[in-house]
Amino acid sequence: MAERITGGRPAHPANAPALSQQSFGWARAAPWRGHADVAHLVLAERVPSDPSVIQSCLDALRRSGYTTVVTTAMPPGDALPFVDAGFSMRERLHLLEHDLTDLPPTRPSHPRLRRAWRGDRPSVLALDRLAFDDFWRLEEHGLRDALQATPSVRFRVGEPRSRHAPRPASGRAAAGEGTVVSAYAITGRAGRQGYLQRIAVHPDERRDGWGQALVRDALRWLRRHDARRALVNTQWTNEAAVALYESCGFHRLPVGLCVLDRNL
């Protein structure tokens, strides 16, 4: 995941119009996480089966000034018409499910979490830059989209256990009155369906119980609000994340997800 989006990021002409969100009925497109020339195609529940419909969308994005398009994660079956329209595999993802029956227990060693406030967002984004590579990293508008992706959302952060501990050399950005974030999670709920949308832990604190604390908090919140299952996806090669989720009661579904991209 150290590689960049196919095609790179050529300089956008200074006189080019600002790229805004577009809707195609079956999908919407907006700039991908701060990459002004890369369109993020967010799919609706039903995707077109005709590659010519997808091609019309691509033509419109090209006319708008985009040079590359990347899709949201989708099941392999939904990807077939996109492959016919010239897309290729960018990422494979594991998809894991939890039935919210047996939740991981509370442990005294688990660090404490609190509600995230607006003033925490600079620290959250700074942490995100350390936790993820360029392709998956959130910018400010990406964080906002994640918080608005579902009707109900839970945004939690964790601060260092010692408020006076020295900041590690790799650094954490401060926000507000010196607030420092060691970990954060965004959990979404739509009806009875729950989603662990984003979990990040500072690289220097990945063996301190933050991951389990974040997952446990998310699952308990979803069950309190009558969700019937929770889903999470993670990169195919991220064995540490898969081990974390499985230790918390998730199991891998037989069919994962894929992210596709293509140059325009």
Asked whether residue 112 falls in the same domain as residue 211, the answer is: yes
Q: Kindly report the CATH number assigned to the domain that includes residue 156.
A: 3.40.630.30
Mean of all residue pLDDT scores within the chain: 85
Q: What is the predicted pLDDT for the residue at 173?
A: 41
pLDDT tens-digit readout, 13-52? 333 344 567 888 899 898 887 788 999 998 887 888 899 9
For the question of whether the overall pTM of this predicted structure is more than 0.85, the answer is no
Six-digit token string for 52: 């010519």
Structural domain contains residue 9: no
Asked whether residue 155 falls in the same domain as residue 181, the answer is: yes
pLDDT tens-digit readout, 202-242? 999 888 899 999 999 999 999 999 999 999 999 999 999 99
**Distance separating alpha carbons of residues 246 and 250, to the nearest angstrom:** 5
Judge contact between 241 and 131, C-beta under 8 A.
no
Asked if pLDDT for residue 60 goes beyond 60, the answer is yes
Asked whether residue 115 falls in the same domain as residue 214, the answer is: yes
Six-digit token string for 196: 């662990």
pLDDT tens-digit readout, 108-122? 777 899 999 999 999
Asked whether residue 32 falls in the same domain as residue 113, the answer is: no
Q: What is the predicted pLDDT for the residue at 207?
A: 81
- Which one-letter DSSP state was computed for residue 204? G
When pLDDT is averaged across residues 181-191 and rounded to a whole number, the result is 96
Return phi, psi of residue 233, to 5°: -125, 155
Asked whether residue 202 falls in the same domain as residue 172, the answer is: yes
Q: Which domain holds residue 40?
A: 22-92+259-263
Asked whether residue 55 falls in the same domain as residue 138, the answer is: no
Asked whether residue 194 falls in the same domain as residue 142, the answer is: yes
Half-sphere exposure of 207 (CA within 13 A, CB side): 0
Strand partners, 194: 189, 230
Structural domain contains residue 121: yes
Buried b (16+ CB within 10 A) or exposed e, 28-50: ebbbbbebbbbbbbebeeebbee
